Amino acid sequence: MSDHHPTAYVPKSAFGKWFESRLPIAGLIHSSFIAFPVPRNLTYFWTFGAILVFMLASQIVTGVFLAMYYTPHADMAFQSVEHIMRDVNYGWLIRYLHANGASMFFIAVYIHIFRNFYYGSYKAPREVLYILGVIIFLLMMATAFLGYVLPWGQMSYWGATVITNLFSAVPVIGDTVVSFLWGGYSVGNPTLNRFFSLHFLLPFMIAGVVVLHIWALHVPGQNNPTGVPIKSGKDAVPFTPYATIKDLFAVSVFLIFFAWWVFYIPNYLGHADNYIPANPSVTPAHIVPEWYFLPFYAILRAIPDKLGGVIAMIAAILIWCFMPWLDTSKVRSTAYRPTYKIFFWVFVAVCIFLGWLGAKPAEGWYVVASQIATAYYFAHFLIVLPVLGFIERPLPLPSSILESVMGVQKGGAGMPAGAAASPPTQG
Amino acid sequence: MMKRTILLAAALVGLSGPALAAGETPTPPQLSWSWQGPFGKFDRAQLQRGFKVYREVCASCHGLTYVSFRNLAQPGGPEFSEAQVRALAAEYKIQDGPNEAGDMFERPGRPADRFPAPFPNENAAAAANGGKAPPDLSLMPKARTFERGFPFFVLDVFRQYSENGSDYLAALLKGYKEPPAGFEVPPGGHYNEYYPGNIIAMPNPMSDGQVEYPKLENGQPQAPETVDQYARDVTAFLMWTAEPHLEARKELGFKVIVFLLLLTGLLYFTKKKIWARIGGEVEGHATPPMTHNP
């Protein structure tokens, strides 16, 4: 072993010892982000966790600065955004970072989610970790929706009207819930005020669940492209420096992608209508949500009944929570599931197709196509996942990560022996 | 390349033209704009001409209420001189007050003032314009667009096409035509090829020679005094009012991306060196043999 990685944190200074015996936070950081054993064969798909942490931080920082200049009032919100864009020093930069940052956040989260689907990361023993992730995604959707209302443009106003109206489909209490959301009898100033308040609150709730998500990750450790758990120290490397530097590199690449949108096509992902101030007496020709909601919007509109549509849309996400039990296959990684691999890519295509349909008007063959795609979407979870586990013959799994990536005989240096065998169970 | 794209677009428009039913609109042609692409900049002379068109043609009905007079002297815009802006502002009457006696009063404009709206409120604007208030123009090229369709909306990301609003506005200003046979234009409406639904409340605002452009040394105007040129110039001016920091944005973007490329390169080699300690990076999984489990 040429390289020595200490696995347990030992404070060096007297103050360090004194402090550690009272609050062992340095030890927690050390075991979570320095000594933590990481499978050595992780691909760049595993860097999106770090990218997402970066994006959350970026959204909170830019958002806090925007809130210093933004005015949450129906008569002044639009103007205050234009004030930020025109008169505040680098206000345009902060706002474009924040607006495009939301889309970057969703691009990263969708890659993260589909990586999880492909490699079976949701399966035992990572069910809680995974369900926490679904909760983060739901909170992200709520936050993004609330945030899009704040500039108080036409699409803000009408998007808020359409989405809040969905709650009226709930039997008995629906109308009361809607008035409560609006703070009145239509979307108006009270709505904007409470949406601003909640838009400020939710990201911190996301940050809280992210802490739980990372905590839950550190109990079973990370999944990897083979789906085979770490069996010996040679299968793993310490988080720092190996994963740290790889994550930093990936974040930097992602930032180039991010910068392209912010500096060159900052309004591409927005709607032109949102540069028109909100006008309750003029309805835009097409009310379309942001791109990241489109597949769910297509599912909503595919069901002819309002309540049914709302239930289908919510179920489309909540069904994710049941995947660990709906998927009956014992094999995690799709790399060893030749039949499921085909179904996985068909599912990806169906999701993209639903997204495209969500941007189209609900008329003609688009409606039928949405219904077929929605049916397939649910069939993937309710039929393909349970049935395939019984009938598919998976390929032989490697006996270890090392065997898969290097061949047994070659084996290089990895974690010091014993480090991976006892994953940290702090907390 | 650009020329070919325009020709192609023109050909497509030409092809689809006859097939269009009443109420449908052709795709606006893609024009060449000075601020396109990663190094794009506004053409000062064009912005100044565009401002002249705005003042002499549009300003009687359309406001520019998010723009201050001082903006006209800012870097990255038409860059009029401070003295020109002061003189221009003074031509406008701005309501101020209340004064010590509690009365509102009018005073000459100052560079810090915003362009006053042409009508006291939206109802007055609508009443004076046949029932429809003329929209404020401050954000127009960002507030209008047309559908790109597949695959163009994907390609646009790579070629940084974000001039759709400008292309639409320029096309709209030139889009006044005789309605096709059998197309009923209701009273107070005007036929415009590019306006969604083809019936626009705004009458054709411009005609050739209407706005006089600054003369060159040889006595010729700086640019042709035609509707086509007016449309381009006023669209350019409005793009600047919609995005006054566009030049600063693109300049900073280039620096940021160069910095990030260097940083990414350094991080890449650092990563390579670190992973070399354990015999290099290995990723993924070996291709599993195509034999099944017994």
A276–B143 C-beta distance less than 8 A: yes
- Checking if the pLDDT of B293 tops 80, the result is no
Nearest to A414 by CA among A246, A231, A214, A227: A231
State the DSSP H helix or E strand holding residue B101, giving kind and residue range, or none if neither. Answer: none
- CB neighbour list of residue B226: distance below 8 Å, 6 or more residues apart: B208, B209
**Token match 């955004």: residue?**
A81
pLDDT digits (tens, 9 = 90+) for B6-52: 444 444 433 333 334 445 789 999 999 999 999 999 999 999 999 99
- DSSP letter assigned to residue A333: -
Nearest to A374 by CA among A292, A287, A290, A297: A297
Structure tokens that stand for A181 in this block: 């959301």
Q: What is the pTM of this model?
A: 0.92
- Check: CB of residue A35 under 8 Å from CB of residue A10: no
Q: Chain A: give the shortest CA distance to residue B258, in Å.
A: 9
As a whole number of angstroms, the distance between CA A71 and CA A332 comes to 49
ipTM (interface pTM) = 0.90
As a whole number of angstroms, the distance between CA B42 and CA B33 comes to 8
Of chain B, the percentage scoring pLDDT greater than 90 comes to: 82
Confidence band of B289 (pLDDT split at 50, 70, 90): low
pLDDT digits (tens, 9 = 90+) for A121-174: 999 999 999 999 999 999 999 999 999 999 999 999 999 999 999 999 999 999
* B293: chain A residues, CB-CB within 8 Å: 393-396
Q: Given CB atoms, is B139 within the 8 Å cutoff of chain A?
A: yes
- CB neighbour list of residue A402: distance below 8 Å, 6 or more residues apart: A40, A232, A234, A235, A408, A411, A414
Q: What is the pLDDT of residue A407?
A: 60
Q: What is the pLDDT of residue A415?
A: 57
Confidence band of B124 (pLDDT split at 50, 70, 90): very high
Q: What is the pLDDT of residue A9?
A: 87
Q: Which pairs with CB-CB distance under 8 Å and at least 24 residues apart come from A113-117?
A: A113/A137, A114/A348, A115/A45, A115/A46, A115/A48, A117/A323, A117/A344, A117/A347
Average pLDDT value for residue range B145-165: 93
3-state secondary structure of A330: coil
A405–B249 C-beta distance less than 8 A: no
Nearest to B230 by CA among B14, B42, B58: B58
Query: Which parts of chain A sit beneath pLDDT 70?
Result: 1-7, 406-427
Average pLDDT, chain B: 90
Q: Which of A237, A263, A407 lies at the smallest CB-CB distance from B249?
A: A263
Q: Which of B38, B263, B288 lies at the smallest CB-CB distance from A335?
A: B288
Q: Which of A256, A336, A398 lies at the smallest CB-CB distance from B261?
A: A256
Q: What is the pLDDT of residue A413?
A: 53
Average pLDDT value for residue range B181-185: 91
As a whole number of angstroms, the distance between CA A335 and CA A329 comes to 13
Q: What is the pLDDT of residue B16?
A: 38
Q: What is the pLDDT of residue B12?
A: 40
A43–B284 C-beta distance less than 8 A: yes
Q: Give the sign of the dihedral formed by CA B4, CA B10, CA B14, CA B17.
A: positive
Axis crossing angle, helix B44-53 with helix B227-242, rounded to the nearest 10 = 100
Q: Which of A237, A266, A404 lies at the smallest CB-CB distance from B285?
A: A404
How many Cα atoms occupy the beta-carbon half-sphere of A185 within 13 Å? 0
Q: What is the pLDDT of residue B5?
A: 46
CB contact residues (below 8 A), chain A span 241-300, against chain B: 241-242, 245-246, 248-249, 252-253, 255-256, 259-260, 262-268, 272-273, 275-276, 285
CB contact residues (below 8 A), chain A span 85-114, against chain B: 85-86, 92-93, 96
Axis crossing angle, helix B227-242 with helix B164-173, rounded to the nearest 10 = 140
Chain-centre distance of CA A189, in angstroms?
Answer: 30
Q: Chain A: give the shortest CA distance to residue B256, in Å.
A: 7
B142–A262 C-beta distance less than 8 A: no
Q: Given CB atoms, is B21 within the 8 Å cutoff of chain A?
A: no
Q: Given CB atoms, is B285 within the 8 Å cutoff of chain A?
A: yes
- DSSP letter assigned to residue B266: H
**Token match 């809040």: residue?**
A164
β-pairing, B105-108 with A37-39? unpaired
- Checking if the pLDDT of B288 tops 70, the result is no
Q: Give the sign of the dihedral formed by CA A117, CA A118, CA A124, CA A126.
A: negative
Tally: H helices and E strands in chain A: 17, 2
Q: What is the pLDDT of residue B282?
A: 82
Structure tokens that stand for A228 in this block: 């085979």
CB contact residues (below 8 A), chain B span 73-112, against chain A: none
B135–A79 C-beta distance less than 8 A: no
Residue A286 CA: distances (Å) to CA of A25, A273, A289, B83 = 52, 10, 10, 46
Q: Chain A: give the shortest CA distance to residue B263, in Å.
A: 7
3-state secondary structure of B64: coil
Structure tokens that stand for A89 in this block: 């020093």
- Check: CB of residue A71 under 8 Å from CB of residue A84: no
